[in-house]
Chains A and B, each alone.
Chain A
Amino acid sequence: MTPGPASLLAAQVRAGERSAQEVVQRHLDALARIDPELHAFVTVLEDQALAAAAAVDTVVAAGRDPGPLAGVPVAVKDNMCTRGVRTTCSSRILEHWHPPYDATVVERLAAAGAVVIGKTNLDEFAMGSSTENSAFGPTRNPHDPSRVPGGSSGGSAAAVAAGLAPLGLGSDTGGSIRQPAALCGVVGMKPTYGTVSRYGLVAFASSLDQIGPFARTVSDAALLFDVIGGHDPMDSTSLDRPPPRTASVTGDGVDGCRVGVVRELYEDAEPAVRAAVSAAAESLARVGAVIEECSIPEVRHALPAYYLLAPAEASSNLARYDGVRYGLRVDAPDVESMNAATRAAGFGAEVKRRVMLGTYALSAGYYDAYYGQAQKVRTLIIDAFKRAYEQVDALLGATTPTTAFAIGDRVQDPWAMYLSDVFSVPSNLSGDPAVSVPFGSDDAGLPIGVQVLAPALGEPMVVRVGAVLEAAAPTLGQPRLADRALLAGSWEPS
């Protein structure tokens, strides 16, 4: 199978054919030209990135191993801590906050020779599905700048789609990697809960948050997953076992694999998306997979359960932004008024909505009816997936019900916005891995993503199925807002 741009660049840098500094500079140049309109980045790390690249080149020159991602630029969602570099969560409340430490994933990137070129835009505290809830303005979809890139990891998805970085990191709480990957026409994977450390990921909903890769190919996504995964003693929910390896099995094919096409994960989607799922299933069948229609009715209750559990955890996770220790402070005569004034000024509307929703769901007298009930639904969904996986090796569905919608379309209607996550949320509740792979486009040329799900630690299975789909997928049109030369694998700016 064809290697992705990240593995190609890393191979060139490792072989000394191209310097890491050259690679990074080339991407920074593209970023400088394209990002003013795209707005994928909140902070660009020009100096730090070039310094890190120089360090990689020194290692190469010394004949030592610079790591599997040597010199590869990575766009990191701005809710992962970077030592000394502001980490805003696209919120006014953390606009000027500089963490004194690196997230574990950031350390692992550096150890692998990767270079963080910037921190990318997101819906404030990862709450949203369009990246419009950023305090610093929306990110645009590279395929149609009047449309959203999806969210909340819209910045990383758009950066990878536009060629500004071959790899990106996102976080997925209810679909925040897979949904923007689908809308931007790139690969996005949500790993099994506990396979990638959350240490240094600013928490939205701790029992659902999981960091994962964006890439332009399945094999590149697998490469990045292998770098960031693995046990971390700093995260108690990190699985204390070797993570599954994926890069080495990406090309293994699906001959004999049983794949269930889940009715509830596509039937309410728009026609072009449904057609893509059917075509994807057929393409798997052609190379030997056994396709079964299946139904998991419990999945229909995932979205309401999610919109109680995630806000409940968020209401607690976001309590610490009180103006006392760091971040924004709006002064007031006493501490309670200072807390209130700081939070009123520092949080956007969607964050406030979810904090209130979650506070209510946990309140005395309502806990059992809301939070407690939602936990029971979560258990039912976990059990339902387990039963499904007794019959099949993987599940197939759509990633999102629609392709990218216009900026401003859904901001006044939270429920319509929440429905963007209806197919992605179940995997967060179950904790299982899922990948979104581009599979053609609609009449307007907007990318469609199909989703592959597998049981816990089934990352090897999702990348195998994903790679087959990638190979069979109809060609996607070039994004309008992109460095097309970098996308095409050539070096000179177009």
Chain B
Amino acid sequence: MTGAEGQSATLSGYEPVIGLEVHCELRTETKLFCGCRNAFGDEPNTNVCPVCLGLPGSLPVLNSKAVELAMRIGLALHCEIRPSTFHRKNYFYPDMPKDYQISQYDEPINVGGFLELPDEYRVGIVRAHLEEDTGKTTHIGGGGRIHDAEYALVDYNRAGVPLVEIVSAPDLRSAAQARTYVAELRSILVATDASDGRMEEGSMRVDANVSVRRTGSAELGTRCEIKNLNSLRSLVRAIEYEASRQVGVLESGEAVVQQTRHWDEEAGHTVALRSKEEAFDYRYFPEPDLVPVSPDQAWQTDVAAALPPLPAERRARLRQLLVTPGTPTTAAQEDQIATVVEHGLDDLVTSAAEDGVAPTLALARTANEASADPDRARQLDRRAYGALLQMEERGRVTATQAKAVLAELLERGGDPLDIARRRGFEALGADSLAGAVADVVGAHPGEWERYRDGEDKLAQFFIGQVMKVTKGKADGKAVVAELQRLRG
């Protein structure tokens, strides 16, 4: 959120207008037009055949699983599924085996949907279409860039991997909102099992179209397309940089030039790649080797019926769990809900709640895990997790002890009660706790006096001391309660 605040200072009088193009690799077993394995990280050039190498005479055959996953994405984004066709996008590049990319052009499979952000703001989806990925070039020697490299190595394992490109309307108004959009889209892709949404592995790649305009204006400014956004952090920084760059250009009385720009993460700025005049002429024309794809109503209905609950719906379910009628969730809880759902851990919260754990506790603890290591947290046994939270809630272990047990559960699994016993964890009984608090108060008369006079923050000091003498078996909340009782 600091981004948005920082921006409002530099952009005074202007607002950025942002549209995103997100490419995501589909989680199919095989590639879009051949039977080669779709896998990340295999030995270079092992998942290749005449078709994905574009050998003379080879022909593409559409993978229907990819069509199904594209439909899932479309349905999750409230798009209309249309009869669609493929085109060829022609340009020369060594990692593109045929020197054209098979992509959907004027008749994409999904059109006209929207994505609802956690705050219920709707971002328009213009289209979500199918296309094939390219190979991957590694430039060796020189600076690692294409023009000063000594030579290049090309891995065609990725060539022909199915992609869906999701194009948003220019509905986003800040870098932070763009970040939220991408995070939400990723949750949807993961939830529908259409893609693993890993930006770091390149299975999800984002280009940003950024323009600025006078606040309150309804017109769109001239846009620049920013490429090479490899993380959410890059996305935020690049949009912030680019928006203020454009405001600078306008403020100095010049006009923004429509360009494709490259985000340089190290330097923290965007640099011009090519202008509109230098843009490639892709010479799109209908792909004569493929026939139109027209999913019939029965197929669409099947795909829709198999669609799992989507993040917006899941967030609503958590809210319902949490809230007594009439009281809204707090901002902190909204953040926790968003985090838990984004990482697909809402099942942990609901199952713990079903086991009788207070939903607020289950949510707070699960949000912690979601931020720390969501992949591992997804492996947690729900029953064990619920049992542990119950132990904590009933005061049988302290919060600190519960953390240690959880760490072991994540590491090795097991029964939380056994783990706690083996480690000698048990919360102190009320008498022992009162005794320990009395001892500590007696040993620190000065601090006690100040606490009694209203210096509340000294409670932390006493908790620390009590923890020390009880070797961590005391529950912090119980200590505070005892201190307050003594204070009268």
CA gap between A227 and B439 in the complex, in Å: 99
Identify which of residues 195-229 in chain A touch chain B, using a CB-to-CB cut-off of 8 Å: 198-203, 205-207
**Does B92 contact A207, Cβ atoms closer than 8 Å?**
no
- B302, CB-defined interface residue at 8 Å: no
B46-68 at interface with A (beta carbon < 8 Å): 50, 53-62
- The answer to whether B121 has its CB under 8 Å from any CB of chain A is no
* Complex: A315 Cα to B288 Cα, angstroms: 13
State the majority secondary structure of interface residues on A. loop
CB of B100 within 8 A of CB of A324, answer: no
* B residues less than 8 Å from A379 (CB atoms): none
CB nearest neighbor in B for A362? B283
CB–CB A199/B283 < 8 A: no
Kindly name the residue among B54, B60, B92, B283 whose own CB sees the greatest number of chain A CB atoms within 10 A.
Answer: B283
Q: At the interface, yes or no: B99 with Cβ under 8 Å from chain A? A: yes
Q: Does B374 contact A (CB under 8 A)?
A: no
Indicate if A339 sits at the interface (CB-CB under 8 A): yes
**A363 contacts partner chain B, Cβ-Cβ < 8 Å:** yes
Contacts of B154 in A (CB 8 A): 324
Q: In the complex, are the beta carbons of B285 and A371 less than 8 A apart?
A: yes
CA distance A359 to B60 in the complex (A): 22
1/0 per residue A304-334: CB within 8 Å of B?
0000000011011001101011100000001
A330–B62 Cα distance when bound, in Å, is 34
Q: Which of B97, B281, B283 interacts with A316 by CB under 8 Å?
A: B283
Q: Does A236 contact B (CB under 8 A)?
A: yes
Which one of A198, A237, A320, A364 lies within 8 Å of B281 (CB-CB)?
A364
Which B279-317 residues have C-beta < 8 A from chain A?
A: 281, 283-285, 288-291
Q: Is A233 engaged at the interface, CB distance under 8 Å to the other chain?
A: yes
Which residues of the other chain, B, contact A491 by a CB distance below 8 angstroms? none
B255 at the interface (CB under 8 A from A): no
Name which of A12-20, A94-102, A132-140 contacts chain B: A94-102
Nearest CB in chain B to that of A201: its residue = B57
Q: Are B291 and A236 in contact (CB under 8 A)?
A: yes
A111 to chain B, nearest CB (A): 19
Most buried by A among B54, B92, B152, B291: B92
Q: Please state if A320 and B90 are interface contacts (CB–CB under 8 Å).
A: no
Chain A residue at minimum C-beta to C-beta distance from B285: A362
Q: Is B421 an interface residue (CB 8 A)?
A: no
User: Does residue A234 face the partner (Cβ distance < 8 Å to B)?
Assistant: yes
Contact with B along A357-370 (1 / 0, CB 8 A): 00100111001000
Quick one: given A81-B56, A99-B55, A101-B50, are A322 and B61 in contact (CB under 8 Å)? no
Do B289 and A236 have beta carbons less than 8 Å apart?
Answer: yes
Across the interface, B289 reaches (CB within 8 A) one of A87, A237, A325, namely: A237
> Which of A81, A237, A316, A324 interacts with B94 by CB under 8 Å?
A324
With known contacts A335-B94, A371-B285, A236–B50 Cβ distance under 8 A = no
Q: Kindly list chain A residues whose C-beta atoms are within 8 Å of the C-beta of B289.
A: 203, 206, 236-237
Closest residue of chain A to B90 (Cβ to Cβ) is A316
Residue in chain A with minimal CB distance to B146? A335
Known: A236-B291, A325-B97, A363-B283. A199 touches B58 (CB 8 A): yes
Q: Does B59 contact A236, Cβ atoms closer than 8 Å?
A: yes
Q: Is the CB of A319 within 8 A of B56?
A: no
Task: Say yes or no: is A235 at the interface (Cβ < 8 Å to chain B).
Answer: yes
- Contact, CB under 8 Å: B59 / A234: yes
The answer to the question of A492 belonging to the interface, with a C-beta cut-off of 8 Å to chain B, is no
Per-residue contact bits, chain B 83-115, to A (CB 8 Å; 1 contact, 0 not): 000001010101001111000000000000000
- Per the bound structure, the CA–CA distance linking A201 and B50 in Å amounts to 13
Q: Is A336 an interface residue (CB 8 A)?
A: yes
**Cβ-defined contact, B62 with A236, below 8 A:** yes
- In whole angstroms, how far apart are the Cα atoms of A80 and B58 in the complex? 11
Taken together as a complex, chains A and B put the C-alpha atoms of A349 and B285 apart, in Å, by 25
Do the beta carbons of B56 and A237 come within 8 Å of each other?
no
Interface check B147, CB cutoff 8 A? yes
List chain A residues, Cβ under 8 A from B56: 81, 87, 89, 94, 97, 99, 202-203, 320
Instruction: Provide the residues of chain A in CB contact with B99, threshold 8 Å.
Output: 319-320, 322
Number of interface residues of A (CB under 8 A): 45
Q: Name the interface residues of A234-283: CB closer than 8 Å to any CB of B.
A: 234-237
Contacts of A336 in B (CB 8 A): 92
Residue of A nearest to B98 (CB): A320
Which A residues lie within 8 Å of B147 (CB)? 334
Closest Cβ–Cβ distance, residue B275 to chain A (whole Å): 15
A198 touches B59 (CB 8 A): yes
A320 to B97, Cβ gap below 8 A?
yes
Q: Do A236 and B54 touch across chains, with their CB atoms under 8 A apart?
A: no
* B288, A235: Cβ atoms closer than 8 Å: no
B100 touches A236 (CB 8 A): no
Query: Contact: B59 with A322, CB < 8 Å?
Result: no
Report Cα–Cα, A237/B290, bound state, in Å: 6
Q: Is there a chain B Cβ closer than 8 Å to A114's Cβ?
A: no
- Whether A126 sits at the interface, judged by CB under 8 Å, is no
The one of A320, A334, A371 that contacts B54, using a Cβ cutoff of 8 Å: A320
In the complex, residue of chain B having the shortest beta-carbon distance to the beta carbon of A343: B92
Interface residues of A in 81-107 (CB under 8 A from B): 81, 87, 89, 94, 97, 99-101, 103
Chain B contacts with A in 137-152, Cβ cutoff 8 A: 146-147, 152
User: Taking CB as reference atom, which chain B residue is nearest A194?
Assistant: B291
B291 → chain A closest CB, angstroms: 5
Q: Are the CB atoms of A316 and B100 closer together than 8 Å?
A: yes
Inter-chain contact B55/A207, CB cutoff 8 Å: no
Whether the Cβ atoms of A235 and B283 lie closer than 8 Å is no
Tell me how far the C-beta of A192 lies from the nearest C-beta in chain B, rounded to whole angstroms: 15
Q: How far is the CA of A324 from the CA of B153 in the complex (A)?
A: 11
Of the candidates B55, B61, B94, B288, the one whose C-beta lies within 8 Å of that of A100 is B55
Q: Can you list, as one digit per residue, whether each of B324-341 has a CB less than 8 Å from chain A (1) or not (0)?
A: 000000000000000000
Nearest neighbor of A372 in chain B, beta-carbon distance? B285
Cα A339 to Cα B93 with chains together (Å): 10
Residues of A within 8 A of B88 (CB): 316
Contacts of A359 in B (CB 8 A): 283
Residues of A contacting B53 in the complex (Cβ-Cβ under 8 angstroms): 325
Note all chain B residues with C-beta closer than 8 A to A363.
Answer: 281, 283
User: A199 and B90 in contact (CB under 8 A), knowing A320-B98, A359-B283, A362-B285?
Assistant: no
Q: How many angstroms from the CA of A94 to the CA of B57 in the assembled complex?
A: 12
Residues of A within 8 Å of B291, CB to CB, are 236-237
Within 8 A of B (CB), among A341-392: 359, 362-364, 367, 371
A316 cross-chain contacts in B, Cβ below 8 A = 88, 90, 100, 283, 285
Residue of A nearest to B281 (CB): A364
Complex Cα distance A336/B146, Å? 11
* B-side contacts of A201, CB under 8 Å: 57
Of B57, B59, B62, B290, which contacts A80 at CB under 8 A?
Answer: B57
Tell me the smallest distance from the CB of A5 to a CB of chain B, in Å: 29
Inside 8 A of B92's CB, which chain A residues have their CB? 319, 322, 336, 339
Find the residue from A97, A320, A367, A371 having the highest chain B CB count within 10 A: A320
Q: Residue among B55, B146, B154 with the most chain A CB within 10 A?
A: B55
Q: Which of B90, B147, B154 has the largest count of A CB atoms less than 10 A from its CB?
A: B90
The distance in angstroms between the C-alpha atoms of A324 and B92, with both chains bound, is 11
Closest B-chain residue to A81, C-beta based?
B57
- What are 16 A-B pairs at a CB distance below 8 A? A87-B56, A87-B57, A199-B58, A202-B56, A205-B288, A236-B291, A313-B285, A315-B283, A316-B283, A319-B98, A322-B92, A336-B92, A362-B90, A362-B283, A362-B285, A363-B283
For the complex of A and B, list the 6 residue pairs with the smallest distance between their C-beta atoms, beginning with the closest. A319-B99, A207-B288, A362-B283, A206-B288, A202-B56, A200-B57
Q: Besides the contacts A99-B50, A335-B152, A362-B284, what 12 more A-B pairs have beta carbons closer than 8 Å? A: A81-B57, A97-B56, A99-B57, A100-B50, A205-B288, A206-B289, A313-B285, A313-B288, A320-B99, A325-B97, A336-B92, A371-B285
